[in-house]
Amino acid sequence: MWVLCAFGSAFFVEITSILAKCGIKKTDSHVVTALRTIVVLFFSWLMVLVGGSHQSLSSISTRTWFFLIVSGLSTGASWLCYYKALQMGPASVVVPIDKLSLVVTVIFSYFVFHEKLNKKSLCGFICLIAGTLLMLL
């Protein structure tokens, strides 16, 4: 199931990039980010309420709250940078640069979570970096 969700995420992220580029042309990127955040907030809470997940709110630990808040701040900073770049630059260049976040994720996963990086994964990792860099030329 997680693989299906991961592919769904990749699909919707790319649709988001194209739709955002279409809608951001004549609107301030910060306003667009704020409006998009409201939509995400509304639908996220709708899913929580419809799914009955709201009952688990009281069991969230202080440590989890800390990481959720820092993650939210990071997400906000990412969106502000991303939409400003998308507004000013071509999507065909901005999106591949944005995807270099994969490099940070793999490195952090290796050092922080001690996830293994076998030869095949390392080769794929290098190919992704090389492919992204080639797209930027």
**pTM greater than 0.85 (yes/no):** no
In the chain, domain spans? 1-50+60-88, 99-137
DSSP string computed for 78-127: HHHHHHHHHHHS-HHHHHHHHTTHHHHHHHHHHHHS-----HHHHHHHHH
- Average pLDDT of every residue of the chain: 89
Please check the confidence at residue 12 and state whether its pLDDT lies above 90.
no
End-to-end CA distance of the chain: 37
**Quick one: tokens of 65?**
């709250």
In this prediction, residue 85 carries a pLDDT of 92
| pLDDT reported for residue 137 | 79
